[in-house]
Structure 1
Amino acid sequence: MRLLTDDIPRAIDDVQPLLGMRRFFTGAATKQTAEAAAAFLRGHHAALTGWPNRAERLGAFRGTFDQGRSGFGALLDPALGFSLVARYASSRPELLDSSIFQGLPEALDVIARVIASEEQYRAAASDAAEKVRRADVRRMLQEMPVDALRTATRERLRVGVLSQAGIRTVQEVLDWDAALTELPGIGGTSAWRILGAAHTLWQTTYDEMPVRIDISNRSPETTTLLRRLAEWDSCRQTRGASADLKRAAELAPLRTTITGGTSHLLVIPTRELTAGELRESIHIVKRRAELLDSSLSSGGPTLGGDPWDDFLSRPADYYAMLAELGFITEDENAAHGDLPEEIIKAVRDQTLSGEHMTASLRGYQSFAARFALVQRKVIIGDEMGLGKTVEAIAVLAHLRSRGESHFLVVCPAAVVTNWMREVAGKSKLRAHRVHGPDRERASRAWMRDGGVAVTTYETLAWWGPTFSRHRDLACIVVDEAHYIKNPQAKRTVRTTELIARADRAILLTGTPLENRVAEFRNLASYVRPDLTVDASDLSPRMFRRQIAPAYLRRNQEDVLTELPELIEIDEWLPMSSADASRYRAAVQSGNFMEMRQAALLEGRDSEKMKRLIEIVREAEENERKVIVFSHFRRVLDLVCQSLPGPVFGPLTGSIPAHHRQHMVDQFSAARHGAVLVAQIVAGGVGLNIQSASVIIICEPQLKPTTEAQAIARAHRMGQVQSVQVHRLLSEDNVDQRITELLAEKKALFDEFARVSEMAESTPEAVDLTEAQLVKEVLAAERKRLAEQASNRHVSH
């Protein structure tokens, strides 16, 4: 208060001799006093104007101030000359007492320290990535012959003298450096030119070298990088708090203004700021500081174990961090698909809140989410494996941060479990399974509390009348959108009614546009009936141009520059009634092997086989080849009978080795969509099958090493496509029990393998024995099925 009532008015009076013509007639002592007063005013003006342009119009004090007035109300006396009060205030000025801003300086300090700490870990991760990059460049140049110097200089260099001196590679040239002049036949000029060419090759290699994480070559540099990335990720407490951090930055100038003796803040309202908004900002910043303070008190991340384990469990998060650091460059134009420039600009300008996300997004994934937000109702047709699910979840999370509450996912029954797990694992949103025996309870909970309702096309027939009473639907996601390609189908009618009702809609499909023009025309009409699609010209180029405002499609090769990548997808599927009947009979008879096969032995009537055929069809449309692995010959025979396209096999242990390779060669020479059907213990060893990039494993294996060896047949050096692994797993049967038991054994195996080579050469030493597994699973399944039967009996 004294600052405004005494100090500043006195300083304004003191500075007057420096203004106008008076400065030429002022004495030295008066000038000195005036300059001191000017410095004083400049300092306080800077502090006040630190708040973005909100207090810069403080007027000079002129007139008579009533010294008889007392209290803080005196600050509002017009005689003080606050032109901001008189001319710019949108409402009456307010005084905030210390209870409002008490603790704000400390909160701002906490936020500043957290940001600095995160920057430290980010810098460490960046340094580690740089070392990996340079190590990879060095390894590449160690394999690059010195003849490359001639090619790089268009045959202008003679490198024979280098070979004569025993220098074979470009890296060896760089290692010799200036010492090249000591070699016979190389003068200073020649050495300078050779080194210049070598450095040019180094720079070109460096510029084009993305940071790769090769699971088959776990170098010390890469292991350190994974650890640094994990540390950075674990301490990133501010992810999703960009809005709060912006408020903190705006409040930062108050940090130096508020002291222990500050009892009130005078708030002069403007169009940009009111007292209520300032009060809210202070509250939000103090709350954010409380949330972040725990990360400081913990002393930073403490990570144990092998960082490769965490990487293998969530590789997409690590690649997203590398992309954020700039070590994986994405083709920005490829990320845009075929979108027009005006839409691209709008998408770039669209913000994306990460407040309710727990997963990192790649750049192209963020672009897809922002595209959906800008265009409101869209089709995302990214190739399978690019993360369409997480793109859609990012949209829902953003809308939740903007106050929306109710979201709906409609999908085939086979992927309900996947959606439930993805929503829970990638976001803070609550997922409700409105499908199956608990659908009524889940429906009521969703309508009451909000979240993401996951249901099926068939369940909509039951839910429709109830759902129609709920009007608040912020966004609907339609997965496997080709299920509604037929406008006359009942499930299409039910789904499109919801699309029309919802504020936003996202249709997901991995089917390329060129192969399904007519179906895509239908899908486009659901999300954008205003688009004019010329049916007389269905050429892909013309159709892409017409559908561009509503359709985004990217291929893996376009946006995943770190290929080959391993993408593992656990496909949790329900059992059909026929599957369940066969399974119960197998459990009752104690036939463990029959239990493992039960979900496939009904052929095309089994849920696993339906999903397998769907994956093969989509792989063909995406110009890929498939390997199907199973332990059982009977399953392999059924797969061969059920698939319509070119099928090779079954490749089994009874086939001689040279015949196996011939079969692989035929498969490699076949067209896209070809399928190699192989017994996992036979096809999983000794064969290189890089021509395949989609792997389907029909049932979980009894040894963790078996699947890894099979996957390595395709995911290895020479593979030019990302490798997708689809594990077909049935809910509530032996697959789930085996998976749960092996998860514990895998941890033991990993620990054993790190300290002994014996585990690699003799995995049986620690793998779960078949006899032990059979005993445990049979007991658990008999108990579970008995309890189910008892519950059904009681309910009746």
Structure 2
Amino acid sequence: MEREERQHLRGVVEQVSGWRKLAAGIAAERDTVDAAAEGAARQLLGRVASPGTGATTPWRALQVSPSDVGLVTSLACRQALPALTTNARQGIHQLTNDAGRALTAVRALFGARRIWSSKSRKDEAGQAATYLISLHERATSTRLVTELEGLAAWDRKAVPPTGISAILDDTVGFAQLLGGRAELVERHELDVTRTAISAIDQALQREDEFRTAVNTAADAVRQAETRKLVTEMPVERLKDATSGQLRITALLDAGIRNVQQVLDQKSRIRSFPGVGETTGNRMVGAARTIWQTTLDEMPVRIDIKNRSRDTTKLLKAMRAWAAARSIHSATADLAAADAVRPLLQSLDSKTSHVVLVPQARTVAELRTALVAVQRRGAMLNDGDDAAGGDPWEDFIARPADYYAMLAELGFLADDAEKSHGDLPTEIVDAVRELKLDTSRLKASLRGYQSFGARFAIVQRKVIIGDEMGLGKTVESLAVLTHLRAKGSSHFLVVCPAAVVTNWVREVRAKSDLRAYRLHGPGRDDALKSWIRNGGVAITTYDILGWLEGRIPEGVELACLVFDEAHYIKNPDAQRTRRSTALIKSAERAILLTGTPLENRIEEFRNLVGYLRPDLSVSASEIAPRQFRKQVAPAYLRRNQEDVLTELPERFEVDEWMPMSSADEQHYRAAVIEGNFMAMRQAALRAGAKSEKMRRLIDIVQEAEDNERKVLVFSYFRDVLDEVASVLPGKVFGPLTGSVPAARRQSMVDEFSQAHHGAVLVAQIVAGGVGLNIQSASVVVICEPQLKPTTEWQAIGRSHRMGQLESVQVHRLLSEEGVDQRIIEILARKNQLFAEFARVSETADSAPEAFDITDAELAREIVAAERERLLSGG
């Protein structure tokens, strides 16, 4: 090798040697970082554990704290290492391995070794030189040197400490070691849940305490009411209580005027002139007897206009008890609490975050469970006195729930016998034996409601004919939730379109069943979800044709509910045929209607026949009492006065008034034309010149002055338009049959939220069915209806469970003309209903004697009015 060649080789050797040191430093640094990361990963993975001792745990967990920052940073350092290109990886490998051997061998070509080395060594050195020159050329012809210098410049100390909250970030790389499905939960989320679970556990333990507090508070309210009543009771009642044996002259002479004063001054009475020990004891004893009898018969009244301290305390106690007792029926929330409880119990005090790895359940399900438990805990805390808030607002929002609790504790004077309707003893006994499972029901049941639900379960196919406002919907939900708790899954509700929204709301608010709206544009998807998941499908009578053939054979309808079941009273109607086909195919069915009989007994008998053809009910040759006995196995009815002792009074006023001259002109024209419907509306078609309209304006003004809202019903759309244009103030509507069902409900919601004096005008056949309008306490019916049940339904929209104000019903009636004649017909129809359907037994005479159809009625009245007006009579 020539001198110049050796000199060039020396330069190559020197450069390659420097590059080798650079590569060795890079490799050593990367090995150190990787080893630290591997150690950190082993430590963290070794701490991933399953909370609890169950064979299958929902999630595995890694608890981490600020002391783990070093481990997380080590992992982050590995992730932060500059990536190696193929060129750099090969270059580092060659420089730290092959180049080292070549640099050692090439020494034989330099210095004294060049002279003394053996031939084989020189040959080996020559090969090494060739390799080094080739390596040098590759390194200088590529970016290897630049890449090595860049890699050597990286310093792990430049990587900042990585916080625990970033442990699952891509910059750390730990999530990939867990399979990429893990999630991080912060400690404060778990602490909130632990507090909620503590509240749940405490409430479960304290329910008896809360119940006792309600009893004590309710008794205090009764005591105050009793004292008030006895204070107003004249002292002469002592004579009545002792059959005239007591003389009370001495008490009157002493200035004692009422029974309460006798009790207040009992220590002085014996010293009154002419009284003495024996007579004094008898006086006080009689007063105590009157007091105790009054107390025993005194229901708890909650007067929203007199918010006493005792009643406020009662409402607070009831709110706390309601929250506590609701846990027993909140099975899903209790299951969620049990699922997260082992994790919470395993938490170390130093833990700041928990890494959750899904096992039997996803982390999303854990978060759902956390939210459910936290929500339930918040409800319990809201129920506590310490949580503050006005308990009166909660009472006004759901008065029926509060009264159900009072009834359960015996503070409302429900008549148990009347809650049974007039059922045979053997059915009553069977119903009493059934234990109703309310674990999936979120509403409190009154005693009569529980009985109604159990009746439907025991008898399988029934008509619940409870009067308007008694809670037929919640009775049905009690049946469905009981069946769901026993393993059934699919239920179907059929109702008028106007109440689909209300049913969806009720199912969701008062049960843990899923509600599916099989009505409107989304019904196809809703049907698929219902079939797949189960729950309550809600559809309309008009959609039953669409539903035919769409329910797979494998889906068993556990129970059908037909709301406003008088819609299917005509057996020849298409909706009836479709409904009865469903009823025949199902094991259970409930027909809900407060008006099973509107015109003819035959219609009532049809409804019974759909459910129980085996009863062979007859209607033409028997008395009502026998009819009621025949339908009793399938028919249960309770009336408001029987079971709702707390319902405010209803005052009905028939407002008879003369026709104005403008009214008479409209009426005479309608009679000449022979137009019965025009005759019925004539007295309200003259606008402000109409006597009825003037009275209506007065009623609305008086309602506003008394801080009330008004419902105005008419059969006729033209009348409603006239009313809406004439009435002052905020008027909602008209709510008519042409208004879409969803809009009807939102219209009612807007009216409910409006200020006093607001008016909702509604067509009686649309607004009088299905909607709950307790915010109104003044009802005006513009003209008498041809069916008494139509009026009852309309009034029942307001005068129902949950109404807190007395209800005023005003019927606007003209002294002359068609109104008087319709009232006469209504009296006969009222009698028919009372005898055959008002109680759950039957009647007096053949129904056909009262069969007056609307067309016959119209012909009869038009003929009579023509004769009266046109003959000059």
Cα distance change of structure 1 residues 511 and 233 upon mapping to structure 2, 3 Å threshold? same
Cα contact 1:410–1:479 (8 A) shared by 2: yes
Task: After TM superposition, give the deviation of residue 678 of structure 1 in Å.
Answer: 5.4
SS at match of 2:265: helix
Structure 2: how far apart are the matches of 1:557 and 1:651?
39
Gaps of 5+ in 1: 1-96, 246-287, 567-622, 628-636, 664-676, 711-725, 747-796
Structure 1: how far apart are the matches of 2:462 and 2:560?
11
Task: After TM superposition, give the deviation of residue 156 of structure 1 in Å.
Answer: 1.6
Other-structure match for 2:443: 359
Cα distance change of structure 1 residues 644 and 534 upon mapping to structure 2, 3 Å threshold? farther
Other-structure match for 1:409: 493
Cα contact 1:651–1:683 (8 A) shared by 2: no
Q: Aligned partner of 1:498: which letter?
A: L
Other-structure match for 2:519: 435
SS at match of 1:407: strand
User: Structure 1 residue aligned with 2:383, among 301, 309, 312?
Assistant: 301
Other-structure match for 1:319: 403
Structure 1: how far apart are the matches of 2:652 and 2:547?
38
Structure 1: how far apart are the matches of 2:700 and 2:375?
50
Structure 1: how far apart are the matches of 2:509 and 2:634?
28
Q: How does 1:339-350 map to 2 (within 5 A)?
A: 339-350=423-434
Structure 1: how far apart are the matches of 2:208 and 2:569?
49
Cα contact 1:651–1:682 (8 A) shared by 2: no
Cα contact 2:601–2:619 (8 A) shared by 1: no
Q: Aligned partner of 1:385: which letter?
A: G
User: Structure 1 residue aligned with 2:510, among 413, 416, 426?
Assistant: 426
Task: After TM superposition, give the deviation of residue 178 of structure 1 in Å.
Answer: 1.9
Other-structure match for 1:163: 252
Task: After TM superposition, give the deviation of residue 468 of structure 1 in Å.
Answer: 6.3
Say whether residues 1:129 and 2:218 are aligned partners.
yes
Identity among equivalent positions (%) equals: 50
Cα distance change of structure 1 residues 517 and 185 upon mapping to structure 2, 3 Å threshold? same
CA RMSD of superposed structures (Å): 5.0
Other-structure match for 1:509: 593
Cα contact 2:200–2:376 (8 A) shared by 1: no
Cα contact 1:240–1:354 (8 A) shared by 2: yes
Other-structure match for 2:305: 216
Structure 2: how far apart are the matches of 1:128 and 1:540?
46
Q: How does 1:376-775 map to 2 (within 5 A)?
A: 376-467=460-551, 469=553, 471-511=555-595, 516-564=600-648, 681-684=700-703, 736=746, 739=749, 743=753
Q: How does 1:112-123 map to 2 (within 5 A)?
A: 114-123=203-212
Structure 2: how far apart are the matches of 1:182 and 1:385?
55
Which moved further from structure 2: 335-344 or 159-168?
159-168
SS at match of 1:378: strand
Other-structure match for 2:22: none
Cα contact 1:651–1:679 (8 A) shared by 2: no
Cα distance change of structure 1 residues 165 and 133 upon mapping to structure 2, 3 Å threshold? same
Task: After TM superposition, give the deviation of residue 683 of structure 1 in Å.
Answer: 4.2
SS at match of 2:437: coil
Q: Aligned partner of 2:558: which letter?
A: A
Structure 2: how far apart are the matches of 1:522 and 1:559?
28
SS at match of 1:212: coil
Task: After TM superposition, give the deviation of residue 235 of structure 1 in Å.
Answer: 2.0
Other-structure match for 2:834: none
Other-structure match for 2:418: 334
CA distances 1:709-733 after superposition (whole Å, capped 9, x unpaired): x9xxxxxxxxxxxxxxx99997666
Q: Aligned partner of 2:476: which letter?
A: A
Cα contact 2:619–2:627 (8 A) shared by 1: no
Gaps of 5+ in 2: 1-51, 58-193, 335-368, 656-665, 668-675, 715-719, 757-873
SS at match of 2:614: coil
Cα distance change of structure 1 residues 202 and 695 upon mapping to structure 2, 3 Å threshold? farther
SS at match of 1:235: helix
Task: After TM superposition, give the deviation of residue 558 of structure 1 in Å.
Answer: 0.7
Cα distance change of structure 1 residues 138 and 400 upon mapping to structure 2, 3 Å threshold? same
Structure 2: how far apart are the matches of 1:377 and 1:556?
24
Cα distance change of structure 1 residues 727 and 412 upon mapping to structure 2, 3 Å threshold? closer
Cα distance change of structure 1 residues 503 and 231 upon mapping to structure 2, 3 Å threshold? same
Task: After TM superposition, give the deviation of residue 147 of structure 1 in Å.
Answer: 1.1
Task: After TM superposition, give the deviation of residue 289 of structure 1 in Å.
Answer: 14
TM-score (norm 1): 0.56
CA distances 1:345-399 after superposition (whole Å, capped 9, x unpaired): 1111111111211111101001101111111111100000001111111111111
Cα distance change of structure 1 residues 366 and 696 upon mapping to structure 2, 3 Å threshold? farther
Cα distance change of structure 1 residues 99 and 509 upon mapping to structure 2, 3 Å threshold? closer
Count of residue correspondences? 510
Structure 2: how far apart are the matches of 1:534 and 1:734?
40
User: Structure 1 residue aligned with 2:325, among 236, 252, 262?
Assistant: 236
Comparing both chains, which one has the higher relative contact order based on Cα–Cα distances under 8 Å and sequence gaps of 6 or more?
2
Structure 1: how far apart are the matches of 2:629 and 2:259?
48
Q: Aligned partner of 1:379: which letter?
A: I
CA distances 1:728-772 after superposition (whole Å, capped 9, x unpaired): 9976669848955984999xxxxxxxxxxxxxxxxxxxxxxxxxx
Structure 2: how far apart are the matches of 1:338 and 1:329?
19
Structure 2: how far apart are the matches of 1:427 and 1:169?
50
TM-score (norm 2): 0.51
Other-structure match for 1:370: 454
Task: After TM superposition, give the deviation of residue 183 of structure 1 in Å.
Answer: 2.5
Task: After TM superposition, give the deviation of residue 189 of structure 1 in Å.
Answer: 1.7
Cα distance change of structure 1 residues 684 and 524 upon mapping to structure 2, 3 Å threshold? same
Q: Aligned partner of 2:419: which letter?
A: A
Other-structure match for 1:154: 243
Other-structure match for 2:296: 207
CA distances 1:3-25 after superposition (whole Å, capped 9, x unpaired): xxxxxxxxxxxxxxxxxxxxxxx
Cα distance change of structure 1 residues 519 and 468 upon mapping to structure 2, 3 Å threshold? farther
Task: After TM superposition, give the deviation of residue 182 of structure 1 in Å.
Answer: 2.9
Other-structure match for 1:21: none
Structure 1: how far apart are the matches of 2:253 and 2:737?
55
